[in-house]
Amino acid sequence: MNMAMPSWFDIIGLSPDSQEDEVGIKQAAENVKALIDQEVKNGIPSNRIILGGFSQGGALSLYTALTTQQKLAGVVALSCWLPLRASFPQGPISGVNKEIAVLQCHGDCDPLVPLMFGSLTVEKLKSMLNPANVTFRTYSGMMHSSCIEVIFSIYNVLAGYS
């Protein structure tokens, strides 16, 4: 909201119809893609890389995974939303990550990124990706934070990638 603070991109508003910082979101995604490229140069196959983040970082992880040309292993998206949602197709995507695994976790009492944002995001993801690969978990009483149950959910998903 044009305040000076560490962030991936500017958040202009927090409602489904708020204007979004398209330039900032796309630049941040390019920065993450450059990090992925660097890891690949270091010998890590892109299909072993999982993007993850909380709030704005989770939003950026989703956006980057859906726009990169690198095949990724998955996304862990916590208390977030899909930025630039309207820019994506109404149906299945044809990119390299159309089968990507997504774990999305959200608290049902989140006052900053309301559960509705998570619900709208998972509906969109299931229309674009293989719905069997998209997992959405809600946590009773959790606000804009995390809890041990979220950590166990992440652990259980990542245990399949060891």
Give the model's pLDDT for residue 144: 95
Average pLDDT, the chain: 91
Rounded distance, CA 143 to CA 125, Å? 23
Name residues whose C-beta falls within 8 Å of residue 71's C-beta, 6 or more positions apart in sequence.
Answer: 46, 47, 96, 97
Give the model's pLDDT for residue 158: 79
**pLDDT tens column, 24-36:** 999 999 999 999 9
pLDDT of 14 above 90: no
Which of 55, 61, 79, 153 is catalytic? The answer is 55
Give the model's pLDDT for residue 104: 97
**pLDDT tens column, 106-130:** 999 999 999 999 999 999 999 999 9
Asked if 144 is an active-site residue, the reply is yes
pLDDT of 2 above 70: no
User: 113: exposed, middle or buried (C-beta count within 10 Å: 0-12, 13-18, 19+)?
Assistant: buried
Which of 7, 46, 119, 144 is catalytic? The answer is 144
Give the model's pLDDT for residue 4: 62
What percent of the chain has pLDDT above 90? 77
Asked if 55 is an active-site residue, the reply is yes
Name residues whose C-beta falls within 8 Å of residue 118's C-beta, 6 or more positions apart in sequence.
Answer: 79, 80, 81, 104, 106, 110, 136, 138
Rounded distance, CA 132 to CA 140, Å? 23
pLDDT band at 3 (very low <50, low <70, confident <90, very high): low
Give the model's pLDDT for residue 77: 98
**pLDDT tens column, 81-107:** 999 998 998 888 988 999 999 999 999
Which of 61, 106, 110, 153 is catalytic? The answer is 110
Asked if 106 is an active-site residue, the reply is no
Give the model's pLDDT for residue 6: 66
Tell if the pTM clears 0.85, that is, is over it: yes
